[in-house]
Amino acid sequence: MGMLNKPSSRRSMMKKVAATAVAAMVGENLFAHVSASEAALGPLKGRINNSVCKWCYNAIPLEDFCLAAKKMGITGLDLIGPKDWAIVKKHGLTVALADGAGKGINQGFNDPLLHDELVKSYEDLIPKAAEAGISQIICFSGTRKGLDDEQGIKNCVAGLKRLMPTAEKYNVTIVMELLNSKVDHRDYQCDHTKWGVAVCEGVGSDRFKLLYDIYHMQIMEGDVIATIKKYNKYFSHYHTAGVPGRHEIDETQELNYPAIMKAIVDTGFKGFVAQEFIPIREDKLASLKQSIEICDV
């Protein structure tokens, strides 16, 4: 009888071993998934101040996103409006760049007909931002609509100069974003670094700077590291994304982000670098975590 039971016992044992192995593999895969998106990163070098644009993760509630971002070593959130400032602060994070007070990307300071409205809106917002501990607010040039570049610069300078006394009083920097007009924002006027620098020089205040968006400027002019080295004094904020496509900043795209981050660090920059890529992987937080690791130079 004992001999007859041996094959049955062996099959039973093999099934148990197989089941244990499968369970272990499943467990490892589950752990890998969790660790990729939810586990805290190890200590970062701290040479880059990390922020992230919440709009790229709109499906994730803000409270949950703050918790996840903090685990990754992210200390700031970008493009947050006043109604959400308190939530960000509650989680010990900074609004690194506040949402603007204007009508959006297409209607900006290059249109003199909008100056009164824009100045009033920003003058209302600046003291509120300062009270909330926020030091930067975004703004835009607007689209050309047939306006030549020289006149666009003059118009922006005229409107922004009106804002500078308030910005200087409250130590809040108004930051104009450099965007591409080739792929994402057709006809946008502040689409080259030199154009934005000309506005900075015309305004003549440390409370007006540029947001150098690496993705957008790679599309428009390339030469990213040389531009950062030459014009960094005009940049108070940076955005990232992969080129082409505006997705993850990993090996699937053309920019060498570790080298770019090193160039930023070498300028002595102490502001924020914000991730603004649109993740296409299923685990979007894993992509965000990877981007922080890539930029940790």
What are the tens digits of pLDDT across the range 139-185?
Answer: 999 999 999 999 999 999 999 999 999 999 999 999 999 999 999 99
Give the CATH number for residue 146: 3.20.20.150
Per-residue tokens: 258: 């570790």
Give the range of the structural domain holding residue 258, as residue numbers without chain letter: 44-294
- Clarify whether residues 118 and 139 are in a common domain: yes
Q: Which of 43, 52, 47 is nearest to 249 (CA)?
A: 52
Interatomic CA distance for residues 123 and 103, integer angstroms: 15
- Clarify whether residues 152 and 267 are in a common domain: yes
Interatomic CA distance for residues 50 and 97, integer angstroms: 12
Q: What pTM value is reported for the model?
A: 0.87
Which positions ≥6 away from 259 have C-beta within 8 Å? Answer: 225
In angstroms, the first-to-last Cα distance of the chain is 69
**Domain count across the chain:** 2
**Burial of 30: CB neighbours in 10 Å, binned 0-12, 13-18, 19+:** exposed
The pLDDT of residue 43 is 87
pLDDT digits over 189-219, tens only? 999 999 999 999 999 999 999 999 999 999 9
Neighbouring CB atoms inside 10 A of 61's CB total 11
Which positions ≥6 away from 56 have C-beta within 8 Å? Answer: 275, 276, 277, 278, 279
- Clarify whether residues 136 and 185 are in a common domain: yes
DSSP, collapsed to helix, strand or coil, labels residue 256 as coil
List the chain pLDDT tens, one digit each, 297 residues: 333 343 333 334 434 434 444 344 433 333 333 344 555 667 899 999 999 999 999 999 999 999 999 999 999 999 999 999 999 999 999 999 999 998 899 999 999 999 999 999 999 999 999 999 999 999 999 999 999 999 999 999 999 999 999 999 999 999 999 999 999 999 999 999 999 999 999 999 999 999 999 999 999 999 999 999 999 999 999 999 999 999 999 999 999 999 999 999 999 999 999 999 999 999 999 999 999 999 999
Interatomic CA distance for residues 253 and 278, integer angstroms: 13
Interatomic CA distance for residues 75 and 66, integer angstroms: 9
Per-position b or e across 9-18, b if 16+ CB within 10 A of its CB: eeeeeeeeee
Residue owning tokens 């974003």: 177
- Clarify whether residues 123 and 166 are in a common domain: yes
Which positions ≥6 away from 260 have C-beta within 8 Å? Answer: 214, 224, 225, 228
The pLDDT of residue 12 is 43
Do residues 119 and 100 make contact, with C-beta atoms less than 8 angstroms apart? no
The pLDDT of residue 109 is 98
- Clarify whether residues 13 and 84 are in a common domain: no
Helix 284-294 vs helix 62-71: crossing angle, to nearest 10: 40
- Clarify whether residues 49 and 85 are in a common domain: yes
The reply to whether omega before 244 is within 30° of 0 (cis) is: yes
- Clarify whether residues 228 and 99 are in a common domain: yes
- Clarify whether residues 27 and 123 are in a common domain: no
- Clarify whether residues 33 and 53 are in a common domain: no
Q: What is the dihedral of CA 215, 217, 222, 228, to 10 degrees?
A: -100
Residue 120: enclosing H or E segment and its boundaries? helix 115-131
The pLDDT of residue 137 is 98
Interatomic CA distance for residues 171 and 129, integer angstroms: 10
- Clarify whether residues 14 and 86 are in a common domain: no
The pLDDT of residue 154 is 98
- Clarify whether residues 10 and 83 are in a common domain: no
Counted residue by residue, the chain has a size of 297
- Clarify whether residues 68 and 183 are in a common domain: yes
Neighbouring CB atoms inside 10 A of 68's CB total 20
Residue owning tokens 């400032």: 85
